[in-house]
Every structure is written in structure tokens, then in C-alpha cells.
Chains A and B, each alone.
Chain A
Amino acid sequence: MNTLQQIRFVWKPIIFLLCLIPATLVVTDAFELTGRLGANPIEEIQDRFGNWALRFIMITLTVTPLRRVTQWNWLSRFRRMLGLFTFFYAFTHFLTWLILDQEMLLSAILEDLTERPFITLGFAAVVLLTALAITSFTAIRRRMGRNWQKLHNMAYAVAILGVWHYWWQVKKDVTEPQIYAAILAVLLGARIFWHWAHDRKKLTTARLVRQQP
């Protein structure tokens, strides 16, 4: 097997199964096979899915900077799958809220969406993620051309909305939201820095070209 085949047939399935572990644990804990969901299982399920959605968007956004630093270009092969797992956990988090927490009660859902800013933020993030998930197929990506990258830059907005949603949701202790915010700041900061360095280099090159007789 060559490297590409190894990634496709060995590493991708392994990573795929690893990414499913948190969701599997929710199910097995619900039946008390591996652990327990505690006295308030709905809150526990919702928190776990939400937390994993945040972790996965951080992991997904780490791929490109890590690849740049390490020169491990094969890393980018996992980016779509990780992004789709972000969507998966965000969507299950959303479904837990919709079905188990709000019991599909339209009035309660509308009230939450319009009157609780942290829910509005979370909902916006899920809507954006859904758009990114739908357009993640290779065929659609090709057809969209340059617009695809523009749309998928919204991943940064999703991450910001997600952390903000978490920050506003907690009752008192914002330690965990602060940790996510710090990680996100580093991930976005690195991109801004590289972008700026790249622009400077281009400018310098342009000047040098101009100076030549």
C-alpha cells in the first residue's frame, strides 16, 4: 500500500472510530454499561455533546497550523472528517435540546431562540455548520469553485459563536469557556500572523521587482 492508500484504508477508519467514542459512551452510559449519566441525564447528555462539538472545532482548526509547522501535509486528509464530526456533535447537542429538553414544544423553542441570546448564538452556529456539512462533498466543492472557500471560512465564525454560546450559558465559573477562548485565540492569531507575514513578503518582493532597472 502506498501512503495515500494507508491513510484511506487504515488511518481514516481508525480515526473515525476514535471520534465516535464519546457518542458511544453516552449510549452505553445511558444503559449503565460503562458508567452513569447521573441524576440529571438530559443535562449530562447535552453538556457532553456540546463539549465535544467545541473540542472538535478546536481540533479541526488545529489541522492547518499544525501541518504548516510540521510540514506533515497528510494531516489535511483528515480535516473534512474532523469538521464533519464537529457538525455531528453540534447537531446531536442541538437535537438533545430540541427533543429531550424542549420536547419539541414550539412556543418554548421560539421563546428560547428569540429571548435567550446564548441559544440564538448556538443556533446560528448549528445553521452555519449544517451549510458547511452539506457543501463538504467533493462534487459540490468543485461546482462551487472559489465560493466554496469563502463559505468554509465561516468555520472561524462557528468557533467564535460556539465559545461565546458556552461563555454566556455558564452560571458562574467561566474557566472552561476561557480555556476554549484562549485556544481559539492562538489558532486564529497564528492565521492572522501568517497572513500578515505573507502580505509583507509579497510587498517586499513587489518593491524589489519595481526597483530593478
Chain B
Amino acid sequence: MLIKKPADIRPSEITSESNYLKRRDFMRAGAIAGGSLFASGAMGAVIPDGRLAKLASIAKSSFSTTETPNSFEDISTYNNFYEFGMRKVDPFENSQEFKPRPWTIEVAGHAEKTGRYDFDDFMKPFDLEERIYRMRCVEAWSMVIPWVGVPLADVVKHFKPTSKARYVAFETLNDPEQMPGLHGRSLKWPYREGLTIAEATNPLAILAVGIYGNVIPNQNGAPIRLVTPWKYGFKGIKSIVKINFTATRPKTSWNMAAPREYGFYANVNPKVNHPRWSQARERRIGAGIFAGKHETLMFNGYGEHVAHLYKDLNLRRNF
């Protein structure tokens, strides 16, 4: 018989949504009264080493949506992270023993600054921001997630890519000891993703390290993951260990697995269907059994910020 180890912390024990919303009010009041000591974030990102530890110095962002975020429970118990198994609840159930710290990130390729960085040193030059984004999965469901992260553009600029760098490639940790899904051959490991330099320096793209003001849970890609809200969720590579500035387009895991179904760009596009299902509409998780689906928006509703990146591209062919 299979006996599952209980998770150390149940989602319900973590900051409730109401407390979280109260905290936001408190912070907003503090920012107004105290000349925004909290929101200034000039100290650089310090990520505490503790499960779901509270993050400090988080600035607000005008990129955030005003839509109500999904509950922490929905966000942390329903997602894809094949390194921990293929069912939606597998990442939550199988990642509790995962150790996201200490963590090393390798920066390589066509950049002036390369090398292996301890996670703390990697994060220090950047400032944390909250970005409440819509997340649209290629499987036609969606959520609203209050990420905390740093703009990827700042990270890219910090490492000073040379003129040869046209793409940024990312890799996930490949450690079968800690990630049971890696024993299977569902995808070619390590998980790989990539962006063009223009996409990576778009202000919407972030590297997320937190959710709901706390350190990101293991199952959502601790300690650091990519978030590109105008693209399907699978572009958001998790638990990143390598960032590589390349001259040629990097191979990406889902595209390698099924090139007819998953493209390199993977921009949310209601007009280009997946070969096996429609992308015209989506189901918002947490909306209830009878809530119905709603129309999917081009670029997931972020067109004003990203549409110019693709103006010369045939999006039907470059899906």
C-alpha cells in the first residue's frame, strides 16, 4: 500500500486570503503615511530561507490586474510540474521534501558576466515587486496569481548580454532523488524553456520568488521561476538552475515532445486552437461548478504591452 506523507504545512494554515487582503490594506496605509518606506525597496531582494517565509520590501506594480486572485489553496494544489508527477495534485503531494535552498544558478553564454551564483547573491541586485497576473494554461484553464518577483529585464541587463545573444534559455533542476517525476520519460529532462531577448526584456516578464507575499511553495517552482503572463503556462519554467544567453533558438521541452501541438512562442491566442482542443475559451479555477467558461483574450489580455513584439510574425504558423 502506498502511504503518503502528510505535508508539513497544509494550505489552509497559511495566510488566509482575508488576512492577506488586510495586510495589503495595512501596507497601503503605511505607504501613504510613512512616505512608502515599505514600497521603496531600495535594499535589494533578500529571500529568507524558510518554507513560505514572509517577504519584505515588496513594491506594487501598475502591471497588476485588479481581478480577485485565486485562493492560495487552489494555486498551491492544482498545477503542472511534471518533475513531481503528472496529476495536478502531484506537485503539492510530492514536493514537500524538496530542498530549494541552498541553490546555485549558473549564468552562461554570450554575456559579459557569467558564472555560478549562490541564490542570495543572484537576487541581491534586484528589487521585489508584486505582480498580480492572469495565468492561462494551454489546457484551457486559468487562474489569477499574486506573484512576487523581480523584472526579468533587470536580470538580463545585469548580466550584460553581448550583441551575439539573441535568446535566453532556461533549465530546471534535474535531480531524480528529489523529483520523482524525473524517473519517467514523459518529457526530455532537464525541462527547458526559452525566450527571445526582446521577450525577456519586456517589462511584463518576471522571475518569481513568492506568492501571496510569502516565499514561493516548492510545488510552484521554488526557489525561482519564470512568469510570462501573455504566454501559456508551460513557458513559465520552474526551479531554474541555468540561464544561458544563446545566439540560436534554444530547444524547449514541450516543443521537443510534440512540435505540432506546442510551439516555441506559445503566446495565448484564442484564434489558434490546439490540434485537440479549442483555445477560444477558458475555465477560471475556483469559479464554481456552474460558473461556465469565459472568452480567452489575445495575449491573455496583455496585448498592449507585448503585441508589438510579434507584428512581423505570422502567429498562426509561429504558434
Chain A residues with a Cβ under 8 A of chain B = 30, 38-43, 45, 100, 103, 108, 111-112, 115-118, 168-169, 171-173
Contact = CB atoms under 8 A, between A and B. Distances in A.
Contacts, number: 51
B186 interface: yes
Given A39-B286, A116-B277, A172-B82, 17 more contacts: A30-B289, A38-B77, A39-B73, A39-B74, A39-B78, A39-B88, A40-B78, A40-B141, A40-B283, A42-B283, A45-B289, A100-B290, A103-B292, A116-B276, A116-B278, A172-B257, A173-B186
Interface in B267-282: 273, 276-278, 280-281
B187 A112 contact: no
Contact of B276 (A41, A42, A168): A168
Contact of B278 (A112, A117, A168, A173): A112
- Interface of A, secondary structure class, is helix
A39 B273 CA distance: 24
A172 B285 contact: no
Interface string B29-71: 0000000000000000000000000000000000000000000
Interface string B181-221: 00010110000000000000000000000000000000000
26 contacts: A30-B289, A38-B78, A38-B88, A39-B73, A39-B74, A39-B88, A39-B285, A39-B286, A40-B78, A40-B88, A40-B285, A45-B289, A100-B289, A103-B292, A103-B293, A112-B278, A115-B273, A116-B276, A116-B277, A116-B278, A118-B276, A169-B276, A171-B139, A172-B82, A172-B86, A173-B86
B92 to A, nearest CB: 10
A118 B293 CA distance: 21
B289 A42 contact: yes
A117 B276 CA distance: 7
B281 A38 contact: no
B89 interface: yes
Contacts of A103: 292-293
Contacts of A172: 82, 86, 186-187, 257-258
Nearest to B288: A41
Contacts of A38: 77-78, 88-89
A45 B283 CA distance: 15
Contacts of A112: 278
B186 A39 contact: no
Nearest to A107: B280
A117 B74 CA distance: 31
Nearest to B278: A111
A64 B141 CA distance: 42
Nearest to A39: B78
B79 to A, nearest CB: 9
A43 B139 CA distance: 11
A169 B140 CA distance: 13
